[in-house]
Amino acid sequence: MYHRSVTPPLTVLHTADWHLGRALYGRKRYDEFTTFLDWLVTQIQEKTITTLLVAGDIFDSSTPSNRAQELYYDFLCKVANSCCRHIVIIAGNHDSPSFLNAPKALLRSLNVHVVGAATDKLDDEVIVLYDPNNNPEAIICAVPYLRDRDIRIVTAGETVDDKHTKLIDGIRTHYADVCRIAEHKQLELGGDIPIIAMGHLFTVGGTTVDGDGVRDLYVGSLAHINGDLFPSTIDYLALGHLHIPQQVGPFSHFRYSGSPIPMGFGEATQEKKVIQIEFAGQTPSIQEIAVPCFQSLERIVGDLDSILNKITELKAAQSTSWLEIEYTGTEIVGDLRGQIETVLDGSPLEIRRIKNNRVADRIVSHINDRETLDDLDVHQVFTRCLDTYEVPVEDRPELIQSYREMMELLHENS
């Protein structure tokens, strides 16, 4: 029989969307990732965290670099040797399920539980965590990012609305089935053991910002999930995918932790967070912990004078910021980068991107040699190709849909 009183309260730390290996306009960010992970280890030790949840997108790529892998495994070893008794990791849409799953048997010996992909055996996603006295202290519904093929069957002639409905129903059914297994375990164990669910998805009303790299997860359909889709037996829902810390609608115990470092300049002014949850029985006490800024980002927008003046101010303050500069003046500046670099000379400030709107406005309708791929995403490039070859408007929706599906398949299988 389970007795909560003989063990201290369960203390959980929820984080997600590390995107290890991500670069910012070509600039590697391993120093930031290293500093964040070291900080996270310190938080775990200082706050006596017993369980760490990582809700997907551990890596930025399905084929992470050796350096990114080294950071990941080094971190897991440090945490496994700390007060933290359990680590539960699910895959996000950026992660390779097979890559994450490959060492899961070995990691299990360190009390690291990895769920890289949905399987036919739903019990694999339900993990009972035990305290040092072998008393059950939590039941984790570790639901990874659910790919299209995991949750719906494609049928001939289905409409976009049909697809959307199937996706929503598939996600609802999956969570209902997994939580039902957890509820049975809860009854069998005979105690007030909390059920903690995890997921990597996009909820209705979720907040994003430009340049954060967050994309819709299912091609041809928004498939954003309402908070009331999740079973009411969930005591806390640890989500990943959205980079801004936020709760899901009115559900204060359904949370996104957000990314721990800014993934783009649109996130530069955000306060990043991880979330600490303490349980006394099944009732969660939730506290947000601010993550320090490990690398300052500055976005400067304006005409030439305002840009140069702002850089001069940052230089005088001995700032080490990385800069994204957007020129919005009315005059064409022939050597914009050269003038900016002259002012930057002798300072640790770094230009990561210069966007010249005056030039962009002149070429928005076609491609020429003054536009770079850096100004376009893959979908915009395809649209420019349709424009170049004068594809009729009525023929475009089907081509765009097919292109998006091919890109998604390439991403999932890479």
What is the tens place of the pLDDT at every residue in 296-311? 999 999 999 999 999 9
Give the closest residue to 370 by CA, choosing from 322, 336, 331: 336
Structural tokens at position 278: 């303490």
The residues that bridge with 52 in the sheet, in sequence order, are 13, 87
Q: pLDDT grade, residue 326 (50/70/90)? A: very high
pTM for this model (two decimals): 0.82
Taking 50 as the threshold, does the pLDDT of residue 192 lie above it? yes
Distance CA 186, CA 141 (A): 12
Q: Can you tell me the distance from the alpha carbon of 141 to that of 207, in angstroms, rounded to the nearest whole number?
A: 25
Q: Tell me the backbone φ, ψ of residue 275, rounded to 5 degrees.
A: -120, 130
Query: Which amino acid belongs to residue 57?
Result: D
- Read off the pLDDT of each residue in 115-137 and give the average, rounded to a whole number: 93
Side-chain half-sphere exposure of 108, counting CA atoms within 13 A: 8
Question: If you average pLDDT over residues 94-117, what whole number do you get?
Answer: 94
Asked if 10 and 285 touch (Cβ cutoff 8 Å), the reply is no
Structural element, H or E, at residue 104: helix 104-108
Q: Tell whether the model's pLDDT for residue 359 goes beyond 60.
A: no
DSSP E strands in 131-186: the ranges are 136-142
Residue 177: is its pLDDT beyond 60? yes
Q: What are φ and ψ of residue 223, in 5° steps?
A: 45, 45
> Of residues 26 and 163, which shows the higher confidence score?
26
* Mean pLDDT across 306-333: 92
Q: Under DSSP, is residue 124 helix (H, G, I), strand (E, B) or coil?
A: helix
**Domain(s) of CATH 3.60.21.10: residues in the chain:** 4-290
**pLDDT classification of 220: cutoffs 50, 70, 90:** very low
Cα–Cα dist 313/365, whole Å:
37
Q: pLDDT category, 70, cuts 50, 70, 90?
A: very high
Overall average pLDDT of the 132-149 stretch: 92
Residue 211: which pLDDT band, with cuts at 50, 70 and 90?
low
What integer is the mean pLDDT of 156-176? 82
Residue with the larger pLDDT of the pair 184 and 281: 184
Q: Tokens in use for 292?
A: 């320090």
SS (H, E, C) 2-62: CCHHHCCCEEEEEECCCCECCEECCEECHHHHHHHHHHHHHHHHHCCCCEEEEECCCECCC
Of 126-135, 262-271, 366-375, the least confident: 366-375
Give bridge partners of residue 14 from the DSSP assignment: 53, 275
Burial 33-69 (b: 16+ CB within 10 A, else e): bbebbeebbebbeeeebbbbbbbbbbbbbbebeeebe
pLDDT for 361-413, tens place per residue?
Answer: 554 545 555 555 556 667 777 887 777 667 788 778 888 888 887 777 666 55
Q: Tokens representing 168?
A: 């929503």
Band of pLDDT at residue 218, cut at 50, 70 and 90: very low
Q: Who's near 51: CB < 8 A, 6+ residues apart?
A: 10, 11, 12, 13, 84, 85, 86, 87, 88, 129, 138
Q: How many CB atoms lie within 10 A of CB 410?
A: 10
Cross-strand pairs, 248:
251
State the Cα–Cα distance between residues 21 and 343, nearest whole angstrom.
31
Q: Where in the chain do CATH 3.30.160.720 domains reside?
A: 297-413
DSSP class per residue in 191-232: S-PPEEEEEE--BTT----TTS----SBTTB--PBPGGGS-T
Residue 122 · residue 178 · CB < 8 Å: yes
Query: Is 258 strand, coil or helix?
Result: coil
Instruction: Using alpha carbons, select from 28, 30, 41 the residue that is nearest to residue 75.
Output: 41
Tokens of 9: 């309260």
Q: What tokens does 131 get?
A: 């305290």
Assign 3-state DSSP to the chain and report helix, strand, coil percentages, each to 5.
35, 25, 40
The DSSP H or E segment spanning 308 is helix 304-316
Contact 279, 138 (CB under 8 A): yes
Identity (one letter) of the amino acid at 276?
Q
Q: What is the pLDDT of residue 410?
A: 67
219 pLDDT tier (thresholds 50, 70, 90)? very low
CATH architecture of the domain formed by 4-290:
4-Layer Sandwich (3.60)
Q: What is the pLDDT of residue 225?
A: 76
- Whether 86 has a pLDDT exceeding 50, the answer reads yes
CATH code reported for the domain at 297-413: 3.30.160.720
Give pLDDT, residue 5.
44
Reading the block at residue 13, the tokens are 């730390």
Sign (positive/negative) of CA torsion 350, 352, 357, 358? positive
